[in-house]
Amino acid sequence: MKKIIKTLNNFFYGIWNFIDRKLIVPITKLILKMTGNVNHSGKKFENWLSRPTTLLFISLFLAIVIFVVVDQKILMLSESSAEVLTKQPVTAKYNEEAYVIEGLPETVDITLIGSKTDLFIAKQSPSYDVNVDLTGLKPGTHKVNIKYNQSASTTLQYKVNPSTVTIYIYPKISKTRTLSVDVLNKDKLDSKLVVKNTSVVDDKVIVKGAEHQLEKVATVKALADVKNIIKQETGITTLKDVPLKAYDEEGNIIDVEVVPSKVDVDLEIASPMKELPIRIIPKGDVAFGKAISTIDSSETTVTVYGDDEAIGDLKYIPVEVDVTDLKEDRQYKLGIKKPVGITSMNVNNLTVTIKLDDSSDKDVNDVKIEYRNLGEGYTVQGLSESDIKVSVNIKGVKTVLDSIKPEDITAYLDLKGYTEGTHEVEVHVEGTDARVGYTAKTKKVKIQIEKAK
């Protein structure tokens, strides 16, 4: 406060010096100059004006005039002005253990009106108190006034926007929910590591709030962020004070109180791996009259890392090579695409050499038809002998074809989506040797699907 008073004293002292230098002294000099240009009869006036008492009275008169002007707030310093304080936090006084309040704004804008001096003093105040006293109000709908308290000045006028709001008071109730753990930023973990399991000491939490809000809570989650792991290695890592959030069915955060608000989460970090063969799969047809005689690859196996489920489903890693209209031997530089769920591989590129020779073909008879993707609770059978087995034409280099046996060829029907009844279904054929082309001579067969007894 002493600094403010000293600042104001210096301010008004500066104004007085300014008036003395810029107004009183120039007027006095002007009068003296004018009297020097008049005749001798003006000497008496000049002598009167030159007296110290005369100048003192003139200065006093001008000072009184200046004082009146300042006092009447004609100067800019004393004019009324306004200052807007935006986004001032609102606090509410009520029993937080018993009630939940809705409709109260988090912040308001305050417009202060008064002299610039008062506004300056008010802005130096360390805090603004904007509050609503809800003490004694019962559950229901209420219209309340938002008040602003500023003890630094009592001469200021103020306006709060909004100044009046409608609030809703609800009884606070509690319910128990099961806690689950969500792992965030998994891609920030070392590519050879995965979070295999998560656990907390107690998976039961209490949610508190209005009944209509608690009904929306579908799940409560601990958000474990792997970016907070200091040392990434296999084993058990504990994340301290992981925040809890309540969500509805659509994944939106519900504003309710969760007790406790934070928990410790144990993360089991592992490095599942598996060595798999690389299978080169030619795509397209080579030039007419030609067939693939050999496929050589610089890499035959690859070690993959990822979650257990993804690794368990893999039998090999496919690498496709486009051989459309290939007429002569060729070498390819290829990249290996990571399957879904695989985070890292020890081999990412390889070189494939494909050699050609003259093409021939032959038929393989009595290849038994298999059934895939049949719905649960159904059985299937072919309607005739020709609907159970098919002949397959294979095309390739003669020395390769001579080594192909019926058990190396698979004919199958994809029955996904099929239900009871008689159906005519397309026959698919595949084989173990990628150098050979496989074509079913019977394009479709008839089957009967029935419910299992």
Q: What are the pLDDT digits (tens) for 258-297?
A: 999 999 999 999 999 999 999 999 999 999 999 999 999 9
In the chain, % of residues over pLDDT 90: 48
Query: In the predicted model, what is the mean pLDDT of residues 183-206?
Result: 89
> Tens digits of per-residue pLDDT, 52-93?
666 666 766 776 766 665 555 444 444 567 778 788 888 888
- In the three-class reduction of DSSP (H, G, I as helix; E, B as strand; rest coil), residue 72 is classed as coil
- In the three-class reduction of DSSP (H, G, I as helix; E, B as strand; rest coil), residue 83 is classed as strand
The pLDDT-based confidence of 37 (bands split at 50, 70, 90) is low
> What is d(CA 66, CA 47) in angstroms, rounded to the nearest whole number?
27
Specify whether the CB–CB gap between 102 and 170 falls below 8 A. Answer: yes
Span of 14-18, 36-40, 205-209 with lowest mean pLDDT: 36-40
> What pTM does this model have?
0.58
Whether pLDDT at 48 is above 70: no
Q: How far is Cα of residue 55 from the mean position of the Cα atoms in its chain?
A: 77
- DSSP state, 253? B
Q: Residue 14: its pLDDT value, please?
A: 67
Return the closest-CA partner of residue 182 out of 230, 218, 221.
221
Give the relative orientation of helices 2-19 and 52-71 as an angle to the nearest 10 degrees. 130
The pLDDT-based confidence of 151 (bands split at 50, 70, 90) is low
- 18 vs 35, higher pLDDT: 18
β-sheet bridge partners, residue 93: 133
> What is d(CA 294, CA 396) in angstroms, rounded to the nearest whole number?
11
Cβ neighbours of 184 (radius 10 Å): 13
- 55 vs 176, higher pLDDT: 176
- In angstroms and rounded to an integer, the radius of gyration of the C-alpha atoms of the chain is 46
> What is d(CA 432, CA 321) in angstroms, rounded to the nearest whole number?
17
> What is d(CA 313, CA 111) in angstroms, rounded to the nearest whole number?
67
Q: Residue 153: its pLDDT value, please?
A: 54
Q: Residue 69: its pLDDT value, please?
A: 58
Span of 7-16, 300-309, 365-374 with lowest mean pLDDT: 7-16
Q: Kindly give the pairing relationship between strand 173-184 and strand 421-426.
A: unpaired
Q: Kindly give the pairing relationship between strand 257-259 and strand 204-209.
A: antiparallel
Whether pLDDT at 31 is above 90: no
Residues 6+ apart with CB under 8 A from 383: 422, 446, 447, 448
Beta sheet of 290-297, edge-to-edge order: 290-297, 349-358, 330-335
Query: In the predicted model, what is the mean pLDDT of residues 175-184?
Result: 92
Specify whether the CB–CB gap between 291 and 358 falls below 8 A. Answer: yes
> Tens digits of per-residue pLDDT, 327-345?
999 999 999 999 988 999 9
Q: Residue 104: its pLDDT value, please?
A: 87
Specify whether the CB–CB gap between 131 and 85 falls below 8 A. Answer: no
- DSSP state, 20? I
Chain-wide mean pLDDT for the chain? 84
| Tokens found for residue 204 | 């039961």
> What is d(CA 271, CA 307) in angstroms, rounded to the nearest whole number?
8
Kindly write down the DSSP assignment for every residue of 161-219, as one continuous string.
Answer: ES-EEEEEEEE-EEEEEEEEEEEE-GGGS-TT-EEEEEEES--EEEEEE-HHHHTT--E
- 198 vs 80, higher pLDDT: 198
Span of 78-87, 208-217, 259-268, 434-443 with lowest mean pLDDT: 78-87
Residues 6+ apart with CB under 8 A from 283: 320, 321, 322, 323, 324
Whether pLDDT at 175 is above 60: yes
Beta sheet of 219-225, edge-to-edge order: 194-200, 262-270, 235-247, 219-225, 173-184, 204-209, 257-259
